[in-house]
Amino acid sequence: MWRSASCCVALLLLGSCAPKKVESPLEKAPPSEISRARSLALDGDVGAAQRAYEAFILNHQGTDEADLARLELGVLSSDVGRCESAIPHFEQAQQSADQAIALRAALHLGSCQLKLGDPERALETVGPLAGEHFSPEEQALLWDTAVIAAEQTTSAGLGLRVLDALVERSGSAPDPARADAAVALLVEKLTIEETTALLDELRPGAPPQVFVSMRILRHGLETQDPDLVARGAESLRSGGEAANPDVAILLARADEFLHGNPYVVGALLPLSGRGREVGRQLLQGMQLAALDEGGPELIVEDTAGNAAQTSAAVESLITDQRVVAVLGPVGSRTTAAAARSAGRSTVPLLSFSASEGVTSASERVFRFLYSPRDELAALVRQARARGLSRFIILYPDHGYGRTMERLFDQEVAAAGGVYCEAVAYPPGTKSFVDYVRTVLETSCDVILFADVADQVALIAPTFAAEGAWSLGARALPEHAEREVHFLLPSPSWSAELLGRAQRYLQGALVALPFYESSEASLNQHFRTAYETRYGTAPQMFAAYGYDAYRLISNTLRQGNQTREALSEALERGASLTPVTSMGAFSSARTPARPPQLYMVRGSLLESVD
């Protein structure tokens, strides 16, 4: 990794990297007393050499020559293991007016500080020497001091800055493998906060910055932090390290983490426990769509309708499987759990929850189902377009019924209609005569049923028995006293309802995102393929699963093959021809168009444009 020597060669042409040779004229032609002290040292008479240096220093105070003697006396002392006595000589020589003597004194001072167990002081001393051109022996000493001090220091940031400066201005390390190991050791000593703070201080492409970038990237992958992953990957690419095999592997992991694998889609569904029938239908619709589309691969995790299990499942899909999108989960609680576990991942979650607030869990959550308000708004708008203005709701007195009453009141007011006081009945009621009479005592003639289809089959004939008929364009029977208009949200509908009460539901408006008997060619294909594969007619959730998978597959094929691009395309309205009403998202990440409305005509439903 230590490649800066070649960079320096280029910079030499610009004059910005030219080394200064650390050499004093006094060293080549020293005074005779210093020459004699050198000879004594070479002959092994250390004591006599020291006395000769000391005598010269005493007799030549305040001169460059005395500084040279202090430098050489310090080196002699350090060579025989007496750094404590050498350090004062180096510190004084470091103040010499002769720059070469001062620089060499600093180098040897740093070496002694390291030997005496103070690697931080050693780094501080030798750090400013980066870029100086010493003799080969002293250049090696500079590197050895810096690398060994870096290995021993507790001030990892300082060590990295010194090594970074050395490689930038002093060329390649004599032992690149050991230098790399020292840098790697320093980086591991840093906290992640210190690592990220250092990133912009270090030179792009140099080993310290490369190791720091790799640490940030690895930590980001481990903690599922897309900001750190993106920052580490960008730094490595800008430093030109993508060709390094180790770096290339990390970058590939970063790309999958940030962008996902465009050939893999996840599904979070309740395949056991509560809601498993809904999960089974969704899965069958998705599997059928995967056969039609020919990919991407569908990887399924069972949430069991449990928030904790959902959290683990979504982490597995995002972290281990690198899915580009997640279809599911079902329900607002599990969607919130999935969004939390996805963290800041950019993977889009297509929730099969009808809760209006589900998109607030994360800006990457898309609501694929229509909410009760969506259906009520569509029904009220259509009734108003037909000139009807007076509305009332007949509902069971439980949570769903009370919610529908509140929302219906709001939507009627928003559409400028008149709202009569609602009529509630106990859940499980079988005789509705009294409640129907209460409704008919009002002046309101547009009646919303907020109960299941089996109850609607009992309520509608009761209106007729009391002289109030829903007929659409047909004439009232002679015995009829008044006309009424029924509104049915999708939970109030079933395929069997017409067989039981079609005579009393003529002209009723039904909000139905999926109509199992639609004659549209795609719906016919879906129905036939589903019945062939699973031996039963498809229900609404199977259709939702079919369209959700196809929407993702279609958007991927259009070139939106990263998580970010896929999410952005979905928000921009990427669409397809659906079997449900749900063919695209709005910018609010909810269904872009209202649910399809139908009117009861004979034994069929007729689409209302």
Element (H, E) at 266: strand 264-269
Residue in 194, 25, 7, 177 with CA at minimum distance from that of residue 97: 25
Overall number of domains in the chain: 2
CB-CB contact of 405 with 450 (8 Å)? yes
Does 27 map to a domain?
yes
Q: Looking at the predicted structure, is the pLDDT value of residue 229 above 50?
A: yes
Where does 329-472 show beta strands of DSSP type E?
A: 349-351, 365-367, 390-396, 418-419, 423-425, 446-449, 468-469
Does 530 map to a domain?
no
Does 605 map to a domain?
no
pLDDT digits (tens, 9 = 90+) for 310-339: 999 999 999 889 999 999 999 999 999 999
pLDDT digits (tens, 9 = 90+) for 533-588: 999 999 999 999 999 999 999 999 999 999 999 999 999 999 999 999 999 999 99
Over residues 367-390, mean pLDDT: 97
Does 501 map to a domain?
yes
Average pLDDT, the chain: 92
What pLDDT was estimated at residue 242? 73
- The 10 Å Cβ neighbour count of residue 473 is 8
Angle made by CA atoms 450, 456, 457, in degrees to the nearest 5: 170
Q: What is the DSSP letter of 319?
A: I
Q: Mark out the alpha helices in 260-371 (DSSP H runs).
A: 276-293, 307-315, 332-342
Of the residues 511, 546, 581, the one at which a domain ends: 511
Domain span holding position 94: 4-192
Cα–Cα distance between 482 and 40 in angstroms, integer? 130
Q: How many residues does the chain have?
A: 609
- What is the maximal distance between C-alpha atoms in the chain? 139
* b/e burial code for range 236-271 (CB count within 10 A of at least 16 → b): beebebeebeebeebbebbebbbbbbbebbbbbbbb
- The 10 Å Cβ neighbour count of residue 308 is 12
Tally of CA atoms within 13 A in the half-sphere of 584 that contains its CB: 13
Phi, psi of 477 (to 5 degrees): -60, 155
CATH code, domain with 478: 3.40.50.2300
Does 466 map to a domain?
yes
- 573 Cβ neighbours under 8 A, 6+ residues apart: 584, 585, 586, 587, 592
Does 494 map to a domain?
yes
Of the residues 467, 486, 511, the one at which a domain ends: 511
What pLDDT was estimated at residue 12? 31
3-state secondary structure of 485: strand
pLDDT digits (tens, 9 = 90+) for 45-58: 999 999 999 999 99
Cα–Cα distance between 530 and 509 in angstroms, integer? 28
CB-CB contact of 361 with 367 (8 Å)? no
Beta bridge partners of 365: 349
Of the residues 192, 227, 247, the one at which a domain ends: 192
Q: Could you give the dihedral angle defined by the CA atoms of residues 518, 519, 521 and 527, in that order, rounded to the nearest 10 degrees?
A: 50
pLDDT digits (tens, 9 = 90+) for 111-166: 999 999 999 999 999 999 998 989 999 999 999 999 999 999 999 999 999 999 99
Does 420 map to a domain?
yes
Tokens of 57: 């220093």
Give yes or no for a cis peptide into 426 (omega within 30° of 0): no
CATH code, domain with 187: 1.25.40.10
Over residues 278-287, mean pLDDT: 98
Q: Looking at the predicted structure, is the pLDDT value of residue 490 above 80?
A: yes
Cα–Cα distance between 150 and 523 in angstroms, integer? 70
Confidence band for 479, pLDDT divided at 50, 70 and 90: confident
- Please compute Rg for the chain using Cα positions: 40
Tokens of 593: 């168009």
Residue in 339, 348, 273, 371 with CA at minimum distance from that of residue 581: 371
Cα–Cα distance between 61 and 396 in angstroms, integer? 107
Does 248 map to a domain?
no
Over residues 230-250, mean pLDDT: 87
